[in-house]
Amino acid sequence: MKNRNFKHQWLIGLFTCFSFLGLALQPSLAQTPKNAYPNKSIRLIIPFAPAGVTDTSGRYIADQLSKKLGQSVIVENRTGASGNIGTGFVAQAEPDGYTLVLGFDGTLVINPNVFAKIPFDSVKDFSPVGKIGDAVLILVANNNFPGKTLSEVIQISKKDPSGLSYGTSGTGGTPHIAGELLKQKTGANLIHIPYKGGGQALIDVLGGSIPLVYTAVAGAAQYVNTNRLTAIAVSSKTRAPSLPNVPTFIESGVPNFEVSSWVGLLAPTGTPKPIIQKLNSALNEILSSKEGRDRLEEMGIVATPETPEQFEEQIKVDLAKYKAVVKAAQIKVE
């Protein structure tokens, strides 16, 4: 009888021990690789067509994130309405970290100011992950144009009653906004000529059809370096690494003139902070590496590793800055 009772008590004790052991293991099981983020593929929505600088930089970052996170980051191009369609799609996606968007300044801080209606709120609908970098802009001239410096360009424009034409990739794009800001800050008499892409604008300035083009350094650098175009100034805060001899607009006499076209990663609002931090950490590792900096520089982008909060602040500041420029220039896109 005693032996039976002892055996019964022993079994109860063993059962209790395993029960406590199971409870103790539960938190650690929740942290196993099987359940940790990410445990499946991530989609990166690029709201523009393949082959452009925005697409190329996004694909590079997607490839590098795949290696850092141990899961595939699959690029999906959702084009239309100057980036509004793809960006709006992500704004409505599940905030679980598995759908991201490649944010572009034109889409997030200019479109809200030039379109009457867009399918997202740049601040309320997204949780910024981090900025990838700044694509430096440049004002270039046909070699036969008499102005070789910014002050000369401004003086020539003011002497011509019909104004001085400058081409860009299209109405409402960052180069257009930069040109309008230059007019407002200097009183230059500049006339905007919109193209359907920066490539055609460069062809026309090379051929002499227009005297000036405002465009990305990535597209113009080869013509400047081979003396086929005259570089007037770059609109970044510091000189472009790929064109170290070209002065900035600030150096050329326009205080606080800084307009760069940036790209970055964002998730739908409500995405858990630990996921945002993990993505930000992986992104900044890429941007801080020599390989990452060099690869992006080849695309005309200066890598800018920073926090999600810093990126969010830039979005808010640029929204307000460009709102004032757009209102003064009365820019509207239907």
Q: What is the pLDDT of residue 33?
A: 56
Q: What is the pLDDT of residue 241?
A: 87
- 82 touches 333 (CB < 8 A): yes
122 pLDDT higher than 60: yes
State mean pLDDT over 173-179: 94
**Tokens at 51, concatenated:** 């082959």
Percent residues over pLDDT 70 in the chain: 90
197 pLDDT higher than 90: no
The more confidently predicted of residues 191 and 8 is 191
Give the domains, in start order, of the chain with CATH numbers: 42-134+261-329 (3.40.190.150), 137-234 (3.40.190.10)
Give 201-250 pLDDT, tens digit per residue: 999 999 999 999 999 998 899 999 999 999 999 999 999 988 999 999 99
Q: What is the pLDDT of residue 51?
A: 78
State mean pLDDT over 93-98: 98
Q: What is the pLDDT of residue 247?
A: 98
Quickly list DSSP for 197-241. Answer: SHHHHHHHHHHTSSSEEEEEHHHHHHHHHTTSEEEEEE-SSS--T
Confidence of residue 276 (pLDDT cuts 50, 70, 90): very high
- Give the sign of the dihedral formed by CA 165, CA 51, CA 326, CA 241: negative
Do the bridges between strand 212-216 and strand 42-46 make them parallel or antiparallel, or are there none, so unpaired? unpaired
- 330 touches 183 (CB < 8 A): no
Please state the separation of Cα 258 from the chain's center in Å. Answer: 16
Q: What is the pLDDT of residue 299?
A: 87
Q: Could you tell me the end-to-end alpha-carbon distance of the chain, in angstroms, rounded to an integer?
A: 92
Q: Which of left, alpha, beta for 31 (phi over 0: left; psi -120 to 50: alpha)?
A: alpha
CA-closest candidate to residue 176, choices 162, 193, 160, 163: 193
Q: What is the pLDDT of residue 19?
A: 44
Q: What is the pLDDT of residue 218?
A: 87
Give 277-318 pLDDT, tens digit per residue: 999 999 999 999 999 999 999 888 999 999 999 999 999 999
Give 8-65 pLDDT, tens digit per residue: 554 445 444 444 444 444 443 334 355 699 999 999 999 998 877 889 999 999 999 9
Please state the separation of Cα 279 from the chain's center in Å. Answer: 15
Q: What is the pLDDT of residue 9?
A: 53
Q: What is the pLDDT of residue 325?
A: 94
**Tokens at 157, concatenated:** 């424009």
- 236 touches 249 (CB < 8 A): no
152 pLDDT higher than 60: yes
Helix axes 53-69, 273-288, angle to 10 degrees: 110
Q: What is the pLDDT of residue 26?
A: 43
199 pLDDT higher than 80: yes
The verdict on pTM exceeding 0.75 is yes
Q: What is the pLDDT of residue 279?
A: 98
In 3-state terms, what secondary structure has residue 70? coil
